[in-house]
Amino acid sequence: MKTRFLNFIVLALLLTCCNVSTEKGRNESRTITAETLKDKIAGGWAGKMLGVTYGAPSEFKAQAKTFEDSINWVPKDVKGSLWQDDLYVQLTFLETMDQFGIDAPAKKFQEFFAKSGYELWHANVQGRKNYFDSIFPPQSGHPDYNIHADDIDFQIEADYIGFMCPGMPQTANKIADKIGHIMNYGDGVYGGVFIGALYSQAYFENDIRKLIEKALLSLPAESEYYKIIKDAILLHDQFPSDWRASWKELETKWGDTHICDAGTIFNIDAKFNGAFIVIGLLYGDGDPIKTMEITTRCGQDSDCNPSNAMSVLGVIKGLSGLPKSYQDAIHAMGDSLFIFTNYSFNKAVDQTFKYAKELAAANGGTVTEKEIKIKVQPTEPFALEMSFPKLVFDRTVNATDANGWEYKGKWTILEKDTPHAKYSNNKGDEATLSFEGTGISINGNWFRDCGKADIYIDGELKRTVDGYFYYAKQTHNNMDLYHITNLPQGKHLVRVVVKGEKRPEATESNFYLTKAIIFKTSAKTNESIKFSFQN
């Protein structure tokens, strides 16, 4: 009887301990001084500025190869960050928060972003055009309306989200869900989610490997982004002192998986460039110059990638933990304004610090003048999204190819750009193309003199599209006008019918065609591709 009673007491104590431990895990709090929090935020912004200027001269100069030229950078070159879209685009989102609150609707963020005075490209510029075509978030970033859905854009402008969410990855995910879908979807959104999670976790985790693994938990394991980062970690384990060997394996397996600019070696895909960030962090061993150099030499978007990698080190070390020459260069330009904004480095730090305290308090923490107690959030994966599953490039048909498009009506060749465009403003003129595959992107020009056309697939009207574009005095040639994927495998017919109509601000009603990109669906996935050491 006595033994049974003692066993009962022991069991009760064990259960009590378990409950306390579980409860503690759910409600774990971490305290950080206000001075340390602000220093880490400053380090994050400084890292962004230092990294982007370090890599800027090499941007896209190494495609499908490593960058082997000399890198002549000194800390005072950070002044050039004032003109970098990696900074001023996301500062537009901060300004939106300043005016309309941190919980402003996504459409308001898109509006400020669309009406800003700076030029944009890829997913960002499609997000802008979609706003003026009355396509709003989340549709503006959806793959049905944005062929750049998986591009790097949100990845390079989500830093502020992670900076203001110390130890709160779930809160970072909620903000990323709203902002990221302005211009991206799927892996494109995951780029910003992963970057934000790296910063969020870096406030309380100094070990680079553990930090990456924790941030990775914010992504669904089924996503391609998750898989390529796991590959980067595996390759570091296999080649711990040879980053070029890891780069080569990544290039072989993942280098041609992009949809934007498919069929070329230009790769602005978020996950592919995100893997280079991880390569730089793992092989950089926490050293700023080594981290920036390796990330830059991986190539492709080699200003954005070292910018993100260096920002991670900035949050870990704080501005005060960076080399003195870096600190001096940042302080020397602390009040200089980033173009197209009313933000300086000092203001960005102050406002991010303000929002970080507000978010900490709103999510169960407490804030005093000297310290912030943060209710640390367990990591939860973002919802699974896939933009273009198993879609691969097949071939390109230029508008002037003799055995490609067929034209009816008064189409004229425009020879000033490559590829040459054909255009018409005559109502009822048609261009048709027969193709075999599961998807197609119809490309043309976005000019000030553009008008509208109806797009038919297999005899069914799919959408009326408008080529007009003249925002921030910017025009574009050879852009996606309309695309469709997930067609049944087989032969299809696309028909473009010129409407002879335009919006009031357009100077003419010309409709330009430059090429069609044909896609097919592959049964082969990246998971089936083995690395050289696995064969």
What's 230-290 look like in SS3? HHHHHHHHHCCCCHHHHHHHHHHHHCCCCCCCCCCCCCCEHHHHHHHHHHHHHHHCCCHHH
pLDDT at 84: 98
Taking the C-alpha atoms of residue 41 and residue 166, their distance in angstroms, rounded to an integer, is 9
- Of all helices (H) and strands (E), which one includes residue 21? helix 2-26
The DSSP bridge partners found for residue 393 are 519
Each of the 535 residues of the chain gets a pLDDT tens digit; together they read 334 433 433 333 333 333 323 333 456 999 999 999 999 999 999 999 999 999 999 999 999 999 999 999 999 999 999 999 999 999 999 999 999 999 999 999 999 999 999 999 999 999 999 999 999 999 999 999 999 999 999 999 999 999 999 999 999 999 999 999 999 999 999 999 999 999 999 999 999 999 999 999 999 999 999 999 999 999 999 999 999 999 999 999 999 989 999 999 999 999 999 999 999 999 999 999 999 999 999 999 999 999 999 999 999 999 999 999 999 999 999 999 999 999 999 999 999 999 999 999 999 999 999 999 999 999 999 999 999 999 999 999 999 998 899 999 999 999 888 899 999 999 999 999 999 999 999 999 999 999 999 999 999 999 999 999 999 999 999 999 999 999 999 999 999 999 999 999 999 999 999 999 999 999 877 878 899 999 7
The angle at the Cα of 173, spanning 171 to 178, to the nearest 5 degrees, equals 105
Extract long-range pairs of 264-267: CB within 8 Å, 24+ residues apart: 265/63, 265/64, 266/60, 266/63, 266/300, 267/63, 267/64, 267/300
- Residues 6 or more apart whose CB falls under 8 angstroms from that of 97 comprise 104, 355
Where do the domains of the chain lie, and which CATH numbers do they carry?
Answer: 29-67+76-375 (1.10.4080.10), 391-521 (2.60.120.260)
- CA dist., res. 433 & res. 319, Å (int): 57
Q: Is there a contact between 282 and 209 (Cβ–Cβ < 8 Å)?
A: yes
Helix (H, G, I), strand (E, B) or coil at 330: helix
Which residues face 260 on adjacent strands?
none
Which pLDDT belongs to residue 217?
A: 98
Which two three-digit tokens encode residue 192?
């910003």
Tokens of 46: 């400084």
Pairing of strands 371-375, 29-33: antiparallel
Closest CA to 440 of 429, 428, 430, 432: 432
- What is the enclosing helix (H) or strand (E) of 201? helix 187-202
CA-only gyration radius of the chain, Å? 25
Sheet containing 460-466: give its strands across. Answer: 406-408, 430-437, 490-498, 452-457, 460-466
DSSP state of 215: H
- CA 412 from chain centre, in angstroms, equals 38
The pLDDT score that the predictor gives to residue 514 is: 97
Contact criterion met (CB below 8 Å) for 292 and 323: no
Say if residue 99 is exposed, middle or buried (CB neighbours under 10 Å; 0-12, 13-18, 19+).
exposed
- Digit-coded pLDDT (tens) for 247-293: 999 999 999 989 999 999 999 999 999 999 999 999 999 999 999 99
Residue identified by tokens 């640390």 is: 376
Using CA atoms, how far residue 114 sits from 107, 174, 493, in Å, is 10, 22, 34
Length of the chain: 535
At 26 the pLDDT is 54
**pLDDT score of 25:** 45
